[in-house]
Amino acid sequence: MPNLDEIMKMAESVQAEMQKAQENLDKIEVEGAAGGGLVKVVASAKGRIVSVSIDDSLLQPSEKSMLEDLVAAALNDAKTKADAAAAPELQKMTSGIPLPPGFKLPF
């Protein structure tokens, strides 16, 4: 069983790796879309929204409700893709760390 110093060093290593992973996730960008591409959202794999693009054809008062639905759908699509892009990065970070079964990072 590792002693306290070894455990502390492992914890510091995990913290440093988590910081690197978080920085890398903010550099990976994904695009979510809805309405056949009429609404697009670019987000980082960390979940930060980078930009929103709305086709001019949707900028009419009669299209307000549909536009709101499409923006929500595009945000959700971007979030799903961001999570999918983040998973392999976090897997790389935790691959060398002996974690108990069911233990999830980040905390």
| Tens-digit pLDDT profile for residues 73-83 | 999 999 999 88
Of residues 8, 5, 17, 12, the one with CA closest to residue 96: 17
Given strand 49-54, what is the order of strands in its sheet?
29-34, 39-44, 49-54
Q: What is the mean pLDDT of residues 49-64?
A: 91
Q: Considering only the top CATH level, what class is 4-94?
A: alpha beta
Q: What is the mean pLDDT of residues 76-94?
A: 83
Look over the chain and give the mean of its residue pLDDT values, rounded to a whole number. Answer: 84
Q: Which 3 state secondary structure label does DSSP give 103?
A: coil
Q: Which 3 state secondary structure label does DSSP give 50?
A: strand
pLDDT-based confidence at residue 96 (cuts at 50, 70, 90): low
pTM above 0.85, yes or no: no
For the chain, which residues make up each domain, given as ranges?
4-94
pLDDT, tens only, 3-44: 788 888 888 888 887 788 788 888 889 999 999 999 999 998
